[in-house]
Structure 1
């Protein structure tokens, strides 16, 4: 369970209606299987000991006695097994019959969670046989032992106090006030739902959305174990549609109409981190729920779940296209407001023929269209210097003309050489001074051209560069509105690609495709044989790795060792462990040392869940020390 990963399972056994002996055997068999697979929390379906569809057989004492005896037998079977297991069973208490999820651990029945909401509509008539559970849990005497009985029982791992589990039963999750709400407020990070939800047309989609939404609302892991084949088909069919969700995303989904088990790992540290950040997630001021300890051993959890290697970019093509269109609109609408508020007559964009400036120009054109302004008032400035190649220069010029912008070419070589003379810098010394002087000269030109044109300078730098500090302070770091400020490099590429695919101008499309094929470079060093000599990713590392590091560091607060662990899994076959370690170490070091550049970041629109604005999502001291993060990474590397 290192790094907070807890393996869980949702299990649907084969059953026979009212055949308690057969059902018990099958449940115990699946318990053995799930424990062997390393699951620490396991959920079984509603009333699976007897079958959900027993109807009025639930009024038969012989069935209830058999079910109670079976519950004790199943509990005994869990002795020596390292898991918390929830099993659905009918239980008679004080003359009334209750639909219960029994929590079992190490040979004991720890508690009986009652169903709070009994459906009595459509195909359901549970009130005919069952009584709604009490509104508040209490202790009862159950076969000679005191035991918690009622809703919202909290089961707390004695070896891992942050692992708090609660249960609810089927309809509870479909109600207007699910019991899991209060359980989550008092600390439950995993909710197990023992369910018997039948299949009708379209219901599986609704069910999936419901569980996704509940896990998002409660910022929790959610295990949904559903009844399947073996239930009576007199009037209904049950599909065994099992689901495991975490904070709004389904991690694992069972095949419908097939009984079996699904497994994955819930990241409880991620959930707790999200809850700490989310100030509207209300924790209970005065805890009232019963807390029941259970025993599991802390041990290594082998990961089976996947982590997207490009977390900023949707994998599905249609969703990716929708995301790109939405982001372009957010960027354009942000810029539209700024131009309107500043009463700017023009917008000035430094265009290099690279990805970032291309996206900035495309967004500016979109904003001008929305404002009803003529695109000729977009001033696209190309400023060739020592490192400019003919390929990027031609692309910058062609693109500007095709978009209808006014192209201005302002070579800066002579100005930079004069600056070198002024400060006593040797032209053959290609150090950081050589590079940054060009970047700052370009920014000065853009600012002054904006003054001439009565406009504002549009920033081109992206979020990945900001995270790494890969920007010249008071050079490309500065603008009057940074449209790409919260767009990571991996997404910049897809936005330009989307624009190219959707535009109807064949010549513009060809230029944009060539920009996409051009190596990422600031072009501040002289070319070699006419080709780009300075490739950013050779110097600072692959952006797809850095964007992965950035996402999991900021979005979920993962420690570097945890990021290293999941990166090895996500990039298996693409990057070896040493390469991932090298660039993650670089990322952590640069992320801390370069905060001062982000502390005075120009305005720009937030487009996603991760952003670095010092006025919004990320407020960090510029002189914070990275030692703890780097030491933690090194410890993980040595394991």
Structure 2
């Protein structure tokens, strides 16, 4: 599945004490190896330390750095780990600040720092030359000849393609890593020596996250620590590991011991994001220079301990504050979309069926907010409750109470007699509770809503959500159809939190109590008769499986294009202790089966606003043949 464990390391150092610094680097190599790390990135000029000043012009320092590189190469033998350390390199008549890439006893290549800062507290040009024009060169070291030297190097082992830049390179308008990723690199390391100033760590973090997001890559950042010279500056040893804009790991700054952090990178995810982004593909042919692909081979990249965080609810932010902001943003998108549609169509009213369930409740709240925003009377919101064979007192009372408290035009139309008449007309026995029995009710309700909308010059507002569309858990030309589906890209796991947000932050306690009870009600279409206690007998999740699993499957299937093996592996990891492996695989096969066989419903989907990264609209994100085979995914 092409996961790889990568890490950054910050050794304790003594300024210009190369023997001591090398010893600490070697200790961290051993620690990285024990953690099964396959890439370990050290800070800028870590062999000498960054703050040597004019000592960089001393031949003794430069020569000892070369000997230290040989020691580190020897130490790397048998580690099966790519190691990147910083040291000065005397090449022709200039000194370069370089990243030395080492694997199994050899220096695979040397990358110079492209951009040398010479402003405010930095004056590196006193010692170092810029390497942004160095490509396709070779250098000799005392222990190895003809080492590739230049900014155009990529180091490849199968799917894993690495490139490196140094500190200031990330701060410039076009970082060298931007070119490297266009040439195929998917993991970037940055050897840095970034001093601390008030708020600089936040800006540094934003740069790393932004670059990893723009470049669809993993980005490892390792900066010099607190034992650099404090003559004028203080360094903190800041380390970050990011993947596609997400922070995988960050250390606590200002530590005073050797430190290493690791994280597991999902290379398949990165490659899939690049495959989907046509702009990324286009720019791949517009590079300023050709890259050299230096191949090496890991003997084993298996993850001994899979400790990567896998969110069981990928659509729902775990942080309450961020979740509240997300809910507010979604409501804003929904109301903006509906407001435009109402104004454009010239509709005077909105017509919506209210069942007392989550989806129709959320849709009603969006309509309320839209009408309030437009300054329209809530009396122009026609809410229709349509009790049938399976309607329970709980859902009925919640539907009626909510509509009355919100001051809508509430209408009740019982569909039992109309459904019985239809059974008689088509020759279907009312005691046979099959799919016909259920769909007759769903289509009767939709017919009522459509006809009221015609009569009142209104729009029928769809209530179905993304999870139901993915599973085809809707009646074709029944609840599947509307004039504007405002929940169509919101998964079921997120619907609950949107209703909860409205209960806690938008409406008063009376309405809030109703909303909270709706959240606690089991999900059901209520199309089968009630049980003997008058309770819901048809619980959706008992039939098609837990929505939290299906939303998880949907996210990785659509958003990441993951294989069935990977999706199930991640689900087993995320839901450990909640569902067994057998249950997860059972419901995954159910998801795939329904997803493929129900595409014809999504192909005839009404308009509706996209609010998140996934939409199944046939006009936008998802265009799939209705008769595609599922066999390769089961």
TM-score by length of 1: 0.96
Task: Show the counterpart of 2:40.
Answer: 42
Q: 1:383 aligns with which of 386, 390, 395?
A: 386
Once the two structures are overlaid, the 10-residue window that deviates more, 124-133 or 76-85, is: 76-85
Distance in 2 separating the partners of 1:50 and 1:22: 10
Structure 1 residue 173, shift from structure 2 partner: 0.4
Name the CA shift for 1:411/1:183 in 2 (closer, same or farther; >3 Å). Answer: same
Task: Show the counterpart of 1:66.
Answer: 64
User: Equivalent residues in 2 for 1:264-279 (5 A)?
Assistant: 264-279=263-278
Task: Show the counterpart of 1:499.
Answer: 502
1:6 is aligned to 2:4: yes
Tell me the SS of whatever aligns to 1:193. Answer: strand
User: Equivalent residues in 2 for 1:163-178 (5 A)?
Assistant: 163-178=160-175
User: Equivalent residues in 2 for 1:324-343 (5 A)?
Assistant: 324-343=327-346
Are the equivalent residues in 1 in contact too, given 2:464–2:485 (CA < 8 A)?
Answer: yes
Q: 1:290 aligns with which of 292, 295, 299?
A: 292
Distance in 2 separating the partners of 1:519 and 1:265: 38
Structure 1: gaps (5+ residues) = 631-639
Residues 491-513 of structure 1 deviation map (CA, whole Å, 9 limit, x = unaligned): 11000000010134221111111
1:305 is aligned to 2:343: no
Task: Show the counterpart of 1:355.
Answer: 358
Q: 2:569 aligns with which of 565, 569, 572?
A: 565
User: Equivalent residues in 2 for 1:431-580 (5 A)?
Assistant: 431-528=434-531, 529-580=533-584
Structure 1 residue 531, shift from structure 2 partner: 0.7
Distance in 2 separating the partners of 1:505 and 1:295: 63
Once the two structures are overlaid, the 10-residue window that deviates more, 451-460 or 136-145, is: 136-145
Are the equivalent residues in 2 in contact too, given 1:611–1:618 (CA < 8 A)?
Answer: yes
User: Equivalent residues in 2 for 1:250-269 (5 A)?
Assistant: 250-258=247-255, 259-269=258-268
Q: 2:373 aligns with which of 370, 375, 389?
A: 370
Task: Show the counterpart of 1:145.
Answer: 145
Structure 2: gaps (5+ residues) = none
Once the two structures are overlaid, the 10-residue window that deviates more, 274-283 or 297-306, is: 297-306
TM-score by length of 2: 0.97
Residues 304-356 of structure 1 deviation map (CA, whole Å, 9 limit, x = unaligned): 11011111111111111111011011011111111111110111000000000
Root-mean-square deviation (CA, aligned residues, Å) is 1.2
Residues 29-86 of structure 1 deviation map (CA, whole Å, 9 limit, x = unaligned): 2112112211111100000001111111111110110001111221122122211111
Distance in 2 separating the partners of 1:299 and 1:288: 28
Residues 479-502 of structure 1 deviation map (CA, whole Å, 9 limit, x = unaligned): 010000000001110000000101
Distance in 1 separating the partners of 2:322 and 2:285: 38
* Structure 1 ranges of 4+ moved more than 4 A: none
Distance in 1 separating the partners of 2:506 and 2:215: 42
1:415 is aligned to 2:418: yes
1:94 is aligned to 2:64: no
Structure 1 residue 128, shift from structure 2 partner: 0.9
Residues 417-448 of structure 1 deviation map (CA, whole Å, 9 limit, x = unaligned): 01111111111111111111110111111101
Distance in 1 separating the partners of 2:516 and 2:527: 23
Q: 1:122 aligns with which of 104, 120, 123?
A: 120
Distance in 2 separating the partners of 1:629 and 1:49: 50
Are the equivalent residues in 2 in contact too, given 1:140–1:148 (CA < 8 A)?
Answer: yes
Are the equivalent residues in 2 in contact too, given 1:72–1:109 (CA < 8 A)?
Answer: no
Are the equivalent residues in 1 in contact too, given 2:4–2:301 (CA < 8 A)?
Answer: no
Task: Show the counterpart of 1:633.
Answer: none
